[in-house]
Amino acid sequence: MGALFRRRLVVRHHRTAEELTAVARRVLREKFRAAGMGVTGVNVASAESGTLVVVENEGNGRMALTLPRIHVALMGIEKLVARDDELAPMLEILPRSATGQTLTSYVSLVSGPRRPGEADGPDEVHVVLLDNGRSRVLADPAIREALYCLRCGACLNACPVYRKVGGHAYGYPYSGPIGAVLAPGLLGIAQVPDLPFASTLCGACRDVCPVRIDIPRLLLTWRARATALGSASASERLLVRAWQRLASSAALYRLLAPVARVGAAALARVPALTRLAPPLAAWKRARRLPAPAPASFHERWRARQRSDGSHAA
Ligand code: SF4
């Protein structure tokens, strides 16, 4: 980081976090001060008074909306609440679910350009309301609850898939569980048919969401729509049908489960075998296939019942 700062900002080499922070602060403040226009997002806004609320911990938002002569605020239409007294509950929920804070370090309420006699603020404030597919989501009763989202990020932190693959894997600015249900609504499911399948449906996202969006239900809705569009390949459909047949027959399941276990154990133990199985080969390039447990759940269950029975006798 010290080398990057020295190269890009033409400053002497600094090593400690404190020194680097001081440099960033000095250089960036000057940039904010010299900018003709500051652009920010909006966390929530009131239609009653036109007040825009921006919450953050870094202070860059406040500088962008106070130092330049023009402030442009970009907000999705779902960020609008009807009345001023609805802002306070939002401010209570958002920081707690986002960063675990009672309140963020900076909370800015903007209700227009600087007035005569005021020391800070821009001469002009422009608000850009973005639709970009949101009206379409609102018009769809099966998925409109996705628009309740405050972008707190709690569902991302709780999601075991997101925690493993990270945000870039979703290929869209809104990532994680809420991204997987919002992106199909904003872009159309035909554009992102795989996204709703990027989930284990464990329900951790729904449990942690402060506005109780039923994300697993929305994921299933999108999966059904993607499947109806024919997004699954022929081999995938064949596999699912085979699994359906197997899982709905106890006798068949009992017959084939030990065979599958031997096969999975061989794949786990002999890495060369995966080269013979093309879908597994790509998957296994960056992962280790776990070996199955030595005894299945059914076998352990039966053994336990036998031992409970012999103790009781
Ligand atoms: S869906 Fe819920 S938990 Fe996830 S970002 Fe939106 S408000 Fe937060």
pLDDT in tens, 53-63: 999 999 999 99
Tell me the CA–centroid distance for residue 97 and ligand 1, in Å.
Answer: 8
Q: Is the CB of 181 under 6 A from ligand 1?
A: no
Q: Is the CB of 151 under 6 A from ligand 1?
A: yes
- Select from 227, 162, 238, 136 the least CA-distant residue to 190: 227
- Confirm if 146 and 178 have CB atoms less than 8 A apart: yes
Query: Each residue of 229-274: pLDDT tens digit?
Result: 987 888 888 988 999 999 899 999 889 988 888 888 887 787 676 6
- Select from 216, 161, 222, 164 the least CA-distant residue to 194: 222
- Select from 130, 294, 293, 155 the least CA-distant residue to 219: 155
Ligand 1 atom nearest to CA at 205:
3
pLDDT of residue 275: 66
Tell me the CA–centroid distance for residue 303 and ligand 1, in Å.
Answer: 44
Token pair 């202070």: residue: 59
Which percentage of the chain shows pLDDT scores above 70? 96
Element (H, E) at 169: none
Q: Which residue spans within 119-191 are E strands per DSSP?
A: 124-130
Tell me the CA–centroid distance for residue 297 and ligand 1, in Å.
Answer: 36
Query: Each residue of 110-127: pLDDT tens digit?
Result: 999 999 999 889 999 999
Q: Is the CB of 211 under 6 A from ligand 1?
A: yes
Query: Each residue of 4-37: pLDDT tens digit?
Result: 999 888 888 888 999 999 999 999 999 999 999 9
Q: Is the CB of 153 under 6 A from ligand 1?
A: yes
Ligand 1 atom nearest to CA at 215:
1
Query: Each residue of 54-108: pLDDT tens digit?
Result: 999 999 999 999 999 999 999 999 999 999 999 999 999 999 999 999 999 999 9
The DSSP code for 290 is: P
- Select from 274, 264, 273 the least CA-distant residue to 296: 264
Tell me the CA–centroid distance for residue 204 and ligand 1, in Å.
Answer: 11
Tell me the CA–centroid distance for residue 155 and ligand 1, in Å.
Answer: 5
Residue nearest to atom 2 of ligand 1 (CA): 209
- Select from 126, 45, 110, 42 the least CA-distant residue to 84: 45
- Select from 228, 260, 227, 222 the least CA-distant residue to 243: 260
Range name among 157-161, 200-204, 284-288, 299-303 with the lowest pLDDT average: 284-288
Using only C-alpha atoms, the chain has a radius of gyration, in whole angstroms, of: 27
pLDDT of residue 45: 98
Q: Is the CB of 137 under 6 A from ligand 1?
A: no
Distance CA 186, CA 231 (A): 18
Q: Has residue 109 got a pLDDT over 80?
A: yes
CA angle 274, 280, 282 (to 5 degrees): 100
Q: Has residue 228 got a pLDDT over 70?
A: yes
Ligand 1 atom nearest to CA at 208:
3
DSSP output for 173-212: SS-HHHHHHHHHHHH-TTT-TTGGGS-----HHHHH-TT-
Residues across the chain: 313
Tokens of residue 129, six digits: 């309301």
pTM above 0.95, yes or no: no
DSSP output for 236-266: HHHHHHHHHHHHT-HHHHHHHHHHHHHHHHH
Tell me the CA–centroid distance for residue 226 and ligand 1, in Å.
Answer: 23
Distance CA 116, CA 128 (A): 25
Tokens of residue 8, six digits: 């890009």
Q: Has residue 203 got a pLDDT over 70?
A: yes
pLDDT band at 277 (very low <50, low <70, confident <90, very high): low
CA angle 157, 141, 202 (to 5 degrees): 30
Range name among 137-151, 168-182, 264-278 with the lowest pLDDT average: 264-278
Q: Is the CB of 150 under 6 A from ligand 1?
A: yes
Q: Is the CB of 143 under 6 A from ligand 1?
A: no
Tell me the CA–centroid distance for residue 42 and ligand 1, in Å.
Answer: 16
244, burial (CB in 10 Å: exposed 0-12, middle 13-18, buried 19+): exposed
Tell me the CA–centroid distance for residue 32 and ligand 1, in Å.
Answer: 31
Ligand 1 atom nearest to CA at 156:
4
